[in-house]
Structure 1
Amino acid sequence: MMRNQQSLPELLQELTEESTTKVKLAVTDIDGVLRGKLISLDKFRSVVEKGFGFCDVVFGWDAADQAYDNGKFTGWHTGYPDALAKIDIGTFRRVPWENDLPFFLAGFQDAPCPRGVLKRVIGQAKEMGYQAFFSQEFEWFNFLGKGGAVAAKDYGNLPPLSEGMFGYSILRASQGSAYFQDLFDLLEKFDVPIEGLHTETGPGVYEAAILYAEVLEAADRAVLFKAGVKEIAHRHDILPTFMAKVSAELPGCSGHVHQSLWTADGGQNLFYEAGSATGISSLMESYIAGQLYCLPYILPMYAPTVNSYKRLVEGAWAPTTVTWGIDNRTTALRALPGSATSTRLETRVVGSDSNPYLAMAACLASGLYGIRQGLKLEVPATRGSGYADKGLGVLPRNLWEAAQAMKQSPLAAELFGEAFADHFVRTREWEWRQFSREVTDWEMKRYFEII
């Protein structure tokens, strides 16, 4: 499904008639970070159909632009050549906080492109006769200050946007009204519609639910939401963070993914079954069974950073076990039976720091795996605390354990292709190695004087 229904000639005519001189293009790297450039309208005309070269270093470095030393796809051994990127005119938007600057997303061919991975999984769903509708919701902390000044202080002792543990607070939202209202209104104009926005438990924490859409559009919206929040916040002298955990004393930040499968024409929600005891269909049960089976082997696609696993701890509103339940917020998977339009699955293990393309690809691919394999949902729904239900095991405890589970299982290669699985695991091993060589504040406080 394409958002923009204009033909290319119509689009180019519109941009020409309004005297547009430049266009912004963006791609997404492995960590879900937007990388892009401004180009002239003439340049856009020359590359919009044939594609353009973009340095493949975006798949050869980490979020801090440090070059991987274990890469296979690209590196010093390849010379970091250009990879072919293709513009998706269906992603056409205007950036309202940049004078309605025209904006497009692009994706790569023959590269470990996250958007491309999701598109391939969507192709599998279509071959099976399904159309997937998804949405993602995010929690994130907001601090007072701008990036440069805050970075100089190592992000320490930051004043939050608001004080106190005050979820669903009308007062706190009103106190930060200009920023709060701009998020809702400007993101709407950016074609990233917000279904709901409220404060969450924790100082300066917001939560937003993005309106559901066909899964590729949903992932585009989620990626652009995170980037848009950061750009809007900057204009209010606010620094947001989508880290999964900013403090041991405060709840973590989730990026829950809601999902349902529909008929190819989008006319019927195949997760809904009025006559069943639970209100969910046997197809949805197989989808859940697939996610439960695959979850321990693809966890880095939901929890991709060292910090991700600080969130996945007991009693912190994030799952630690391979569990499912009906409207149970302590399990990894939360089934939400309802009407013929609202019945869906919420995958709660996903963190706010996830790459939306990869998180949604993992959800969809593992659910489809359960359907293809005819898996039955034989484990009963967890009642009460999911932390205590360890019948199917617990999740890997850190990024290294999760990456090794993914590396040693054939599942990731089966679901996402061998080349991507290999590249992604290498990047997560690199991430763990960078962390492991650092001396933390905790170590200094614990060992400096006593040991």
Structure 2
Amino acid sequence: MDNSQVIKYLQDKDIHKIKFAFADIDGILRGKVIHRKKFVDGLQDGYGFCDVTFGWDSNDALYDEVAVTGWQSGFPDKACRIDLNTFRTVPWEDHIPFFLADFSRHDGTSLAVCPRSLLKRIIQQCDSMGFHAEFAQEFEWFNFKETSHSLQEKGFTGLQPLTSGMFGYSILRPSQNSAFFYDLFNLCEQFNIQIEGLHTETGPGVYEAAILHNGILEAADKAVLFKSAVKEIASRHGIVASFMAKWNTDLPGCSGHIHQSLWTKDKERNLFYDADNQESVSELLKQYIAGQLYCLPYILPMYAPTVNSYKRLVEGAWAPTTVSWGFDNRTVALRVLNPSEKYTRLETRVPGADTNPYLAMAAALASGLYGIRNKLLLDIPATTGNAYKEQEKERLPADLYSATQSMMASPVAKDLFGEEFTDHFTRTRLSEWNHFVKHVSTWELKRYLEII
């Protein structure tokens, strides 16, 4: 859809307000509703948006010593442009027109720290190498019979799950909340997010959804929008939906696995498949896997961006802990699925539901392309059993601080994402860690207050 088509649509429908949003460094949508006149006036050159949105965290606290914004610069506006290709209407908000945006300019330049702009730069590299990247993300999340107010009143404790017990792949549980369950499926479809499958996972009130695959930019857009859509739809049913990686010590965490494949530009041939090769996987796929494995320890915060992310990455929790790969193995970091040419793909199992899809997909594609460019050998044997028991495998960093230090110290991240983005992103992760280490937790009070 071009400018004239959009303007005609708004005029014909007599629409006077438009909603647009972009993802911040944590993947949280920030945006506003604007008048049609302002929307039309900014179609060519964009809109000014305060750059503090890349200088504060998920709770609007300023990050420590980031260069891109701050008191030192006075928090000026930066150029934000709407992508007309993202046009859709919001079915649960009277079909208000909605667009996604990023911090880029008409001449092709962009703000280095904008997640969507970063992914677009990685896609350009992929295109220049002659590949079309096909991606999809799947999410697990917990649903609670709560509201934003009740969460605060309860101090985020004693929460009531949507359903009780451990009942993965249940037919009964969704039927007990069918209005919500089918609203998720149907309203997301109307919002141009096609859900491939929706079901319960093991745990009280847990759902899992896989989004149908698309070209990588559209896939990331839909993943970002899916998380926000689920929260908005859930709220209308008196439900809080949480994409936190691990909210309860005794329950499984929430994944955000990424499925990916490289195709010819015409999308006619899956380049990860080779019928004449062992296991029907191509040398290109092996190089792609080798690249992801090599880069993984140095870019882990792109997949595990919060302090809580690492509570999920523990043994026996259906999440990887090692630099490993295997065929249809759910204990490894990289799972190869190769049933046929159409469906041969790589599943990167490290990301949790708390990821920023733009950054997680950028990390997956950039590190895979790194392996192809450098013709890396896949010299790590495929895991055929339980990867948790393979003591010889390299262990992933165990917390956000260690992972961020590795990312800062290695030249890999700067090579993949650029120095400006890497510096900003790692500073935001250290800031997140600093907030955490200053906090006195309930666990500490229960353990030490009386006894120690």
Tell me the TM-score range normalised by the shorter chain. Answer: over 0.9
Partners of 1:217 and 1:246 lie apart in 2 by 29
Match of 2:81 in 1: 86
Q: How does 1:112-191 map to 2 (within 5 A)?
A: 112-191=113-192
| Counterpart position of 1:436 | 437
User: Cα distance, 1:313 vs. partner?
Assistant: 0.4
1:344 aligns with 2:339: no
- Residue type matched to 1:43 in 2? K
Residue 389 of structure 2 corresponds to: 388
- Is the 8 Å Cα contact of residues 69 and 75 (structure 1) preserved in structure 2? no
Give percent identity, aligned residues only: 60
Q: Which amino acid aligns with 2:127?
A: K
Aligned-residue offset at 1:447: 0.7
AA matched with 1:367:
G
Residue 59 (1) aligns with residue 60 (2) = no
Instruction: Report the counterpart of residue 46 of structure 1 in structure 2.
Output: 41
State how far apart, in whole Å, the 2-side matches of 1:110 and 1:193 are: 30
Secondary structure of 1:445's counterpart equals helix
- 2:113, 2:424 within 8 Å by CA — same for their partners in 1? yes
Q: For the residues of structure 2 that align with 1:114 and 1:390, how far apart are their CA atoms?
A: 35
Task: Supply the AA of the counterpart residue of 2:149.
Answer: G
Answering whether residue 20 of structure 2 is matched by residue 19 of structure 1, we say no
Determine if contact 1:132/1:214 at 8 Å carries over to the other structure.
yes
Contact 1:322 1:390 in 2 (8 A): no
CA contact (8 A) 2:145 2:240 kept: yes
Structure 1 residue identity aligned to 2:248: S
Deviation of the 1:111 alpha carbon = 4.1
Deviates more, 1:414-423 or 1:150-159: 150-159
User: Deviation string for 1:254-299 (max 9, x for gaps)?
Assistant: 0000000001111110001111121110000000000000000000
2:241 partner SS: strand
Which residue does the alignment assign to 1:359? Answer: 360
Q: What residue is the counterpart of 1:206 in the other structure? A: 207
- Residue 247, structure 1, aligned to residue 242, structure 2: no
Contact map agreement 1:25 1:105 (CA 8 A) in 2: yes
User: 2-side partners of 1:111 and 1:148: how far apart?
Assistant: 36
Q: Distance in 1 between matches of 2:7 and 2:29?
A: 24
SS of the equivalent of 1:26 reads strand
Q: What CA distance in whole angstroms lies between the structure 1 residues aligned with 2:338 and 2:61?
A: 45
Q: Deviation string for 1:126-164 (max 9, x for gaps)? A: 000000000000000000011122223221111100000
What SS is found at the alignment partner of 1:148? helix
Mapped to 2, the partners of 1:366 and 1:390 lie a distance apart of: 25
How far apart, in 2, do the equivalents of 1:115 and 1:239 lie? 27
Displacement of 1:391 in angstroms is 3.0
Distance 1:358 1:219 in 2: 9
Structure 1's consecutive aligned runs of 4 or more residues displaced over 4 angstroms after TM superposition are: none
Q: Secondary structure at the match of 1:227?
A: helix
Query: Which residue type is aligned with residue 217 of structure 1?
Result: E
Partners of 2:128 and 2:363 lie apart in 1 by 17
Deviation of 1:69 after TM superposition, in Å, equals 2.6
1:372-451 aligned within 5 A: 372-451=373-452
How far apart, in 1, do the equivalents of 2:210 and 2:232 lie? 18
Count of matched residue pairs: 446
Which blocks of at least 5 consecutive residues in structure 1 are unaligned? 1-5
Q: For 1:221-265, what per-residue CA distance to the aligned partner results, in whole angstroms no more than 9, with x for missing partners?
A: 000000000000000000010000011100000000000000111
1:29 equivalent in alignment to 2:24: yes
CA distance in 1, matches of 2:408, 2:62: 21
In structure 1, what is the Cα distance between the partners aligned to 2:155 and 2:48? 36
Q: Does structure 2 retain, via aligned residues, the 8 Å contact 1:117–1:361?
A: yes
| Gapped regions of structure 2 (runs ≥ 5) | 104-109
Q: Which residue of 2 aligns with 1:3?
A: none
Q: Is the 8 A contact 1:49 1:87 kept in 2?
A: no
Aligned residue in 1 for 2:106: none
CA distance in 1, matches of 2:62, 2:235: 28
For residues 332 and 243 of structure 1, the distance between their equivalents in structure 2, rounded to whole angstroms, comes to 20
